[in-house]
Amino acid sequence: MKEDAILVVDDEKGQREILKTILANQGYEVSTSPNGMEALRLFKETPFDVVLTDLKMPGWDGLELLRNILKEKTPVSVVIMTAHGTINSAVEAMKFGAFDYLVKPFEMDELLVVAKKAVEKTHLLKENTFLREQLEERFSIDGIVGKSGMMWEVFKILKKVCATNSTVLIYGESGTGKELIAKAIHYNSPRRDKPFMTINCAAIPETLLESELFGYEKGAFTGANARKIGLFEAAGGGTLFLDEIAELPFALQAKLLRALQEREMRRLGGKDNIKIDVRIIAATNKRLEDEIKKGRFREDLFYRLNVLALKLPALRDRPEDIPLLLDHFIKKHTGTLNKKITGVAKDAMEILLKHNWPGNVRQLESTIERAILLADDGEDIDAKLLPADITRQAFQGSRLDFDIPYGGISFEELEKELIIKAMEKTGFVIAKAAQLLGMSYKTLQYRLNKFSIQKGAGSVAKGLSYTPNKALDTLNEAEKEKI
Ligand SMILES: Nc1ncnc2c1ncn2[C@@H]1O[C@H](COP(=O)(O)OP(=O)(O)OP(=O)(O)O)[C@@H](O)[C@H]1O
Ligand SMILES: [Mg+2]
């Protein structure tokens, strides 16, 4: 449906035609209907921005139509047209959710003003519905994916944190979801209908940071041509998210502390104290305790911010969340990229589970987004769709951490050494060692017997502890040539 579409509902043909001509002349897309039921059918087919309906009509009257249209829960403004004697009903209609009413006979200008306002109102409604849908989808706690014990801990704290007004300090490596969590806290808190404002302390030059936070009065400095409201005021009643708080310059740390302690601030160049009503959420990927030791962060501010601390675990420490996150991101990006992807193939999954994800969830997300982009429609994401650096690292991780000595080694010795290593690594739990080695419990048991491997046996194939360089050092030049 094109924007600015109006449906005119009137039982009088002449009236319908006049309204249609006037409105169409103004560039609206106009449809007409002689009765309420037909109007509702048209509306269900293609929602209109505005429905302009007569009040008195045979069959459904304007009120009945209004009621049915509002049931559709589509953003729309309904305007009721009424004769002079029935204004009371029109007022009644507004109580039921009509946007406005026009008393017949009305001037063309009057009609156009009301139509314009009605269209604008619908645009606003649409925007709000869109925002709300976006928010509900992305920022409810349910939008944060994780089932690992570590994430359950986060959810538990999150639930408590949301209900309070306390300052929260979120700590986590880059890409672990600090901003996502900050938004979740705001949108699940009693402040959800007020603004959520963000400032990245690392991204804004020191000179601007202060005026961004506190605003300024006209003439506070050269170039201050008009009063500017800072974030503390703009986020009034809501939440202010101070991202990368460790990067806040030392001088400003003192100012922030004062504002938080006194719940008051002044605009730059201002004389009046202004009350502050914001909840502060701060985030950092640096350990503030270390920054304090280095003299870069004020200890008193740290304690002000660290009322409730939330530590987000690195992705490498919770690989059990990876399949869930993959699912989530595949759903998210197949939608936006308009592709069907069946899932993640075994080879790719193994690599993704082994990777150490220095960029955490953000890196996982971009890896998957890229793979979806490269994949053919209807295909699985397999290893060849993953970036080379990720594939390489996974294989490096599984490479044997010892070399073959120059004296050579038999496969039997190698096998024995591997089994000993696996048994030692798993504390002599046969089932676990078998899993590591990719052999069955029975096979491993048989081999253990065959090689007489027992707890405390230690490494038997001594040759394996040589490193080639050391071995080379003990050889003379002629011997090296032969190798
Ligand atoms: N648990 C999670 N579930 C779903 N999506 C997540 C999760 N954690 C992070 N993400 C997604 O990963 C991306 C990075 O998250 P976010 O920007 O919140 O991280 P950050 O910690 O603020 O990163 P940086 O330190 O780099 O600013 C976002 O797209 C976010 O939606
Ligand atoms: Mg961030």
One-character DSSP codes across 18-73:
HHHHHHHHTT-EEEEESSHHHHHHHHHHS--SEEEEES--SSS-HHHHHHHHHHTT
Q: Are 140 and 187 in contact (CB under 8 A)?
A: yes
Which ligand sits closest to the CA of 363? Answer: 1
Rg (CA), the chain: 34
Q: Please provide residue 47's backbone torsions phi and psi, each rounded to the nearest 5 degrees.
A: -60, 140
Task: Label residue 141 by pLDDT band (50, 70, 90).
Answer: low
Closest residue by CA, ligand 1 atom 8: 177
Closest residue by CA, ligand 1 atom 10: 177
Residues with CB under 6 A from ligand 1: 144-146, 172, 174-180, 285, 328, 361-362, 365
Which ligand sits closest to the CA of 284? Answer: 1
Task: Label residue 402 by pLDDT band (50, 70, 90).
Answer: low
In the reported structure, the alpha carbon of residue 179 is separated from the centroid of ligand 1 by a whole-number distance in angstroms of: 6
Q: Is 483 exposed, middle or buried (0-12, 13-18, 19+ CB in 10 A)?
A: exposed
Task: Label residue 308 by pLDDT band (50, 70, 90).
Answer: very high
If one compares 479 and 169, the residue with the highest pLDDT of the two is: 169
**Average of pLDDT values for 240-265?**
95
Reading the block at residue 337, the tokens are 């990229």
> 224-248: per-residue pLDDT in tens?
899 999 999 999 999 999 999 999 9
**Average of pLDDT values for 292-319?**
95
- The string over 195-225, giving b where at least 16 C-beta atoms fall within 10 Å of a residue's C-beta and e elsewhere, is ebbbbebeebeeeebbbbbbbbbeebeeebe
pLDDT reported for residue 395: 62
In the reported structure, the alpha carbon of residue 294 is separated from the centroid of ligand 2 by a whole-number distance in angstroms of: 23
Which ligand sits closest to the CA of 329? Answer: 1
Instruction: Say what angle helices 108-139 and 13-25 make with each other, to 10 degrees.
Output: 70
**Average of pLDDT values for 268-297?**
95
Task: Label residue 466 by pLDDT band (50, 70, 90).
Answer: very low
CB atoms within 10 A of CB 379: 17
> 4-44: per-residue pLDDT in tens?
999 999 999 999 999 999 999 999 999 999 999 999 999 99
> 40-86: per-residue pLDDT in tens?
999 999 889 999 999 999 999 999 999 999 988 888 999 999 986 77
In the reported structure, the alpha carbon of residue 278 is separated from the centroid of ligand 1 by a whole-number distance in angstroms of: 23
Q: Is 262 exposed, middle or buried (0-12, 13-18, 19+ CB in 10 A)?
A: exposed
Q: Are 49 and 122 in contact (CB under 8 A)?
A: yes
Q: Are 157 and 311 in contact (CB under 8 A)?
A: no
Closest CA to 153 of 314, 312, 315: 312
Q: Among 176, 196, 316, which residue has the most ligand 1 atoms within 8 Å of its CB, making it the best to mutate?
A: 176
- The string over 27-65, giving b where at least 16 C-beta atoms fall within 10 Å of a residue's C-beta and e elsewhere, is ebbbbbbbbbeebbebbeeebbbbbbbbbebeebbbbeb
The percent of the chain in helix, strand and coil, each rounded to the nearest 5, is 55, 15, 35
On the question of pLDDT at 115 being above 90, the answer is yes
Which ligand sits closest to the CA of 141? Answer: 1
Q: Report which ligand 1 atom has the smallest distance to the Cα of 172.
A: 21
pLDDT reported for residue 339: 84
Q: Among 168, 173, 174, 179, which residue has the most ligand 1 atoms within 8 Å of its CB, making it the best to mutate?
A: 179
Rounded CA-CA distance 278/255 in Å is 16
Cα-based angle 429, 431, 436 (whole degrees, multiple of 5): 95
On the question of pLDDT at 405 being above 80, the answer is no
Reading the block at residue 146, the tokens are 């994780």
**Average of pLDDT values for 316-328?**
91
**Measured CA distances, 297 to 128, 294, 302 (Å):** 40, 8, 8
pLDDT reported for residue 196: 94
pLDDT reported for residue 129: 67
Q: Are 331 and 324 in contact (CB under 8 A)?
A: no
Q: Report which ligand 1 atom has the smallest distance to the Cα of 182.
A: 18
pLDDT reported for residue 468: 32
Q: Report which ligand 1 atom has the smallest distance to the Cα of 174.
A: 25
pLDDT reported for residue 460: 43
Domains, the chain, ordered by start: 5-134 (3.40.50.2300), 142-311 (3.40.50.300), 318-388 (1.10.8.60), 411-482 (1.10.10.60)
Q: What is the pTM of this model?
A: 0.59
Name the amino acid, one letter, at 208: L
Rounded CA-CA distance 483/469 in Å is 13
